[in-house]
Structure 1
């Protein structure tokens, strides 16, 4: 079957359409902005916003139940590209700021973070994306920088249970710190920390053991959406693309894997859904063509092959 992949991508939710326009078809900025604005009022973005409770929470919890809690819903809204300056986003974040507190090892306000590195990396990313730059977020960012390990990465089990970094935690920390710089401007301290974290991934070719060269986890070669807290090769490449750095040849094997995953009709499948409760489906299931993975793979290849970032 012949598929016009671009048309297929555009025949979808505003959350996908505006990113296709920005990252693949190079539409004018005002056209992209107009389509992005629809995320708050139509489709998946509007549906998620409508599910927020009067207490500011989604799913009745701060971090759990997965994947419908406040944290994971905000992460999804960020992936959809909800404009943080929109009236709808500002109102939703205000409700979170005023009403949501942590339920586990901390009882503080949401944007002050918790005590675990993975969770706090998510909160750093969300705080920066949604315009939270006050003292609580500043302290949390400094705390995250202080959690970086000697090998350049991060691990939510350090130091009690491990002194070596984790791919899962490292990608979350890198995404959070990158979002800070994208939202608030370049910071030399954060930039240096990101460089060390990037080297951790690059030295391992994004999915191999540094000591043995073996693939660390077979599931990292399968592409998920949403990725939740999990690492995979496409997520790692998406980070480097978003960072706007020149393509590093050490990403080459990971890029080859992306090329291999492409179906004969030009699309990429959803391969490894992380099972838990969801608000509603956005894909047709594992093994089926995935608009999200196709968009992400195409823009990663565009970056790697041509140095182009939307």
Structure 2
């Protein structure tokens, strides 16, 4: 019997956090993205303490980063997070960050290639992208996330085409990406394949690029043929960490992130999602909602030398607890269940 989640949806729709209300309104209730109600809410998100902290926080002395990928305070992650929380599209004040991100991920080192018949240490990254056993060893999640973020934020330009071109060039025969530099690695990485898939799908939606759409659909098979978390050979769980939802996921993969991606791609009713959807429903807390069963960030808003070079977030995302509902995880869970026709 399907569970009545009306009270949970109502709670999220009345959250103190405008981004939670946006997720519930657009992704759960199904409000038109272009309605006045949604546009007004996105303006509230633009002015919210969370968005302001994410943007202004980059100017604080201890988080002023020239490295776009500094966890989780570089320009790359600021744009990624803004795209995730419903920040309104087309904000020209984000252009300097966009330029910084594109300049880095389209740097000359990503156009150089070299072949090797043995493992390549990371310090050789400046030489370009290694090709080992006929496969490009490149962290596709980086260019993929950049492409996805700037597209969703409505600040993509012609250089987005170059990100898509790099990703399709590096795509592995099975459809995904992997930066493992050991010759024995022959299967795509879930961590490295989810964001390129989403980036290419968003790019294809914006540009009508059939090749990008085909590449994204090919990448989806990496996940669907493994039922989002199971081995193809014996059906065992590939990683127990994937069964524990977290928020934000950043570049990490988990089962809920896989389901969110499949919902966005219109593939949530593929048979390959059924086991993950069943498990997600079993994870619902007795009083409703879902927990964040771990986290990848530390929160710091002041100079702290002990955490300066750690994975610092300028904002809190509700923490983690196996027994306490997390609004961000719950909004994502309801999103995929609604897309699969399982909300009520």
For the aligned pair, the TM-score class normalised by the smaller chain equals: 0.7 to 0.9
Match of 2:341 in 1: 305
- Residue 53 of structure 1, CA deviation: 2.8
1:58–1:107 distance in 2 versus 1, CA, 3 Å: farther
Contact 2:42 / 2:86 at 8 angstroms: preserved in 1?
yes
Q: What do the CA deviations read for 1:244-279 (whole angstroms, capped 9, x no partner)?
A: 246112211000110011001111011121143211
Match of 1:4 in 2: 7
1:6–1:40 distance in 2 versus 1, CA, 3 Å: same
- Residue 224 of structure 1, CA deviation: 0.8
Picking from 32, 38, 44, the partner of 2:38 is: 32
Match of 1:175 in 2: 198
Contact 1:241 / 1:303 at 8 angstroms: preserved in 2?
yes
CA distance in 2, matches of 1:160, 1:137: 31
Match of 1:42 in 2: 48
Match of 2:96 in 1: 94
Match of 1:17 in 2: 21
Structure 2 portions without partners, runs of 5+: 111-128, 130-137, 298-310
Listed as ranges, the matches of 1:220-259 within 5 Å are 220-245=242-267, 247-259=269-281
Q: Bigger shift: 209-218 or 157-166? A: 157-166
- Residue 299 of structure 1, CA deviation: 1.4
CA distance in 1, matches of 2:88, 2:250: 20
Under a length normalisation based on structure 1, what TM-score does the superposition of the two structures give? Answer: 0.85
Picking from 327, 331, 340, the partner of 1:291 is: 327
How many pairs are equivalent? 297
CA RMSD of aligned residues (A): 3.1
Contact 2:148 / 2:200 at 8 angstroms: preserved in 1?
yes
Contact 1:13 / 1:43 at 8 angstroms: preserved in 2?
no
- Residue 306 of structure 1, CA deviation: 6.1
CA distance in 2, matches of 1:4, 1:77: 28
1:27–1:98 distance in 2 versus 1, CA, 3 Å: closer
Under a length normalisation based on structure 2, what TM-score does the superposition of the two structures give? Answer: 0.77
CA distance in 2, matches of 1:156, 1:119: 11
Secondary structure class of the residue paired with 1:305: coil
Q: Bigger shift: 127-136 or 44-53? A: 127-136
- Residue 40 of structure 1, CA deviation: 0.7
Match of 1:111 in 2: none
CA distance in 1, matches of 2:143, 2:184: 18
CA distance in 1, matches of 2:101, 2:25: 36
Q: What do the CA deviations read for 1:63-114 (whole angstroms, capped 9, x no partner)?
A: 44312222112111111111122xxx321223542698549x8689xxxxx9
Match of 2:82 in 1: 77
Match of 2:73 in 1: 68
Match of 2:302 in 1: none
Larger radius of gyration: 2
Match of 1:264 in 2: 286
Q: Bigger shift: 61-70 or 213-222? A: 61-70
Structure 1 portions without partners, runs of 5+: 109-113
Picking from 162, 173, 180, the partner of 1:150 is: 173
Contact 1:154 / 1:169 at 8 angstroms: preserved in 2?
yes
Contact 1:52 / 1:92 at 8 angstroms: preserved in 2?
no
Contact 1:3 / 1:265 at 8 angstroms: preserved in 2?
no
- Residue 148 of structure 1, CA deviation: 1.2
- Residue 206 of structure 1, CA deviation: 0.5
